[in-house]
Amino acid sequence: MIRFGGLFQSPGWKTENHVPVIECPDSVQKDGTFEIRVSIGKETPHPNTTEHHIRWVKVFYLPEGDRFTYQLAHIQFSAHGESAAGPDQGPAHTDHSAVVTARLKKSGKIYATSYCSIHGLWENTRSIQVH
């Protein structure tokens, strides 16, 4: 049986334009406000069409030494050119990047996951030091 976690593609797969890129400081002040930017395919752009787009990004935090993960954000990208006139005829697109403002009390890992309408689930992670 493939467990759910085994369904995620990670950096290093043949195309890199799905990997959620996490940009945030390497270290932050305890309980100080900072920003986490998540974007998809920073170097190789991902399409944003009615039939092929990034639908959502979720951001999680695992404190060092903790068994449980905390969800920081769920960002839904809802407009991809849909219209009564037909696919890709619509007047609006939400592009697949977002900035989340957070405060942490402990060092740990930030995880970002994303979902492509065609290519499924993706993940990335980075460490963050809290002092």
Residue pair 37/97 in contact (Cβ under 8 Å)? The answer is: yes
- Give the nearest distance from C-beta 118 to Fe ion in angstroms: 5
Range 82-101, binding Fe ion (CB under 5 A): none
Per CB under 5 A, which region of 34-42, 68-76, 102-110, 119-127 contacts Fe ion?
A: 119-127
- List CB contacts of 84: < 8 A, sequence separation 6 or more: none
28 or 80: CB nearest Fe ion: 80
Report the residue closest to Fe ion, judged by CB.
116
Amino acid identity at 100: V
SS3 7: helix
User: Which of residues 81, 119, 121, 126 is near Fe ion by CB under 5 A?
Assistant: 119
Amino acid identity at 49: T
Residue pair 102/120 in contact (Cβ under 8 Å)? The answer is: no
User: How far is it, in rounded angstroms, from Cα 80 to Cα 101?
Assistant: 25
Per CB under 5 A, which region of 57-65, 86-94, 100-108, 118-126 contacts Fe ion?
A: 118-126
19 or 116: CB nearest Fe ion: 116
Site for Fe ion contains 55 (CB under 5 A): no
Q: Which two tokens stand for residue 93?
A: 């697109």
User: Which of residues 22, 28, 104, 116 is near Fe ion by CB under 5 A?
Assistant: 116
- Give contact residues for Fe ion (rule: CB under 5 A): 116, 118-119
